[in-house]
């Protein structure tokens, strides 16, 4: 589901407040369990409420929202990082935007010679290149999670660094 375009302009690296209301659940919520960013929850429909008063619950996860697309000038491109938990920010500091894709975005914004305007982080903890597991494999996600972003010029793949599914190898005995 897509929303209607919203009016207005955003500054580079602006923080957004996006409120959602889900009347009924049709199964488990999609989301990012290890977002490393505090989100606020409320009971009831407060999606149109402008103040923070009802939003008293907190979670470190993102639910239901897949992406925010910002229209830019045609010459401005983007980078998409496709990865596992290390791309997602594993052991990074919560609420500080210290995932490596965040650092890459800051470096690109500081470079006056680049025409890259955004870095999209498409990570799933435990994700692998070819095998489904914690989510669909990176290969199956490529069209939906990477190539569907407007203006993609570069993809950085950092996958498969986990060893949870590998069979341990015993060292040779002497």
Task: DSSP for 106-160, please give it.
Answer: HHHHH-TT--EEEEEEEE-TT--SSS-SSSS-HHHHIIIIIITSTTEEEEEEE--
The angle at the Cα of 67, spanning 61 to 68, to the nearest 5 degrees, equals 115
| Closest-CA residue to 45 (of 35, 54, 34) | 54
Residues 29-57 have pLDDT tens digits of: 778 888 899 999 999 999 999 899 999 99
Low-confidence ranges of the chain (pLDDT < 70): 1, 161-174
Residues with Cβ within 8 Å of 142's Cβ and at least 6 positions away in sequence, in order, are: 82
* Rounded CA separation 139/122 (Å): 13
CATH numbers and ranges of domains, the chain: 77-158 (3.40.50.1110)
Q: Is 58 helix (H, G, I), strand (E, B) or coil?
A: strand
| Closest-CA residue to 128 (of 169, 83, 86) | 83
Identify how many contiguous H helices and E strands the chain contains and give both numbers: 3, 7
């Amino acid at each position: 589901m897509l929303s209607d375009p919203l009016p207005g302009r955003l500054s580079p690296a602006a923080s957004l407040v996006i409120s959602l209301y889900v009347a009924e659940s049709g199964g488990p919520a999609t989301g990012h369990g290890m977002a490393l960013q505090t989100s606020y929850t409320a009971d009831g429909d407060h999606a149109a409420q402008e103040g923070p008063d009802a939003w008293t619950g907190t979670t470190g996860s993102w639910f239901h929202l897949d992406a925010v697309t910002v229209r830019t000038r045609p010459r401005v491109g983007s980078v998409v990082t496709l990865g596992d938990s290390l791309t997602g920010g594993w052991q990074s500091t919560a609420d500080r935007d210290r995932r490596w894709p965040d650092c890459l975005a800051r470096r690109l914004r500081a470079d006056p010679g680049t025409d890259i305007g955004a870095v999209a982080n498409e990570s799933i903890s435990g994700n692998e290149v070819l095998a489904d597991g914690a989510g669909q494999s990176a290969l199956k996600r490529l069209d939906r999670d990477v190539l569907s972003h407007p203006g993609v010029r570069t993809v950085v793949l950092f996958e498969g660094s986990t060893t949870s599914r590998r069979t341990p190898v015993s060292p040779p005995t002497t």
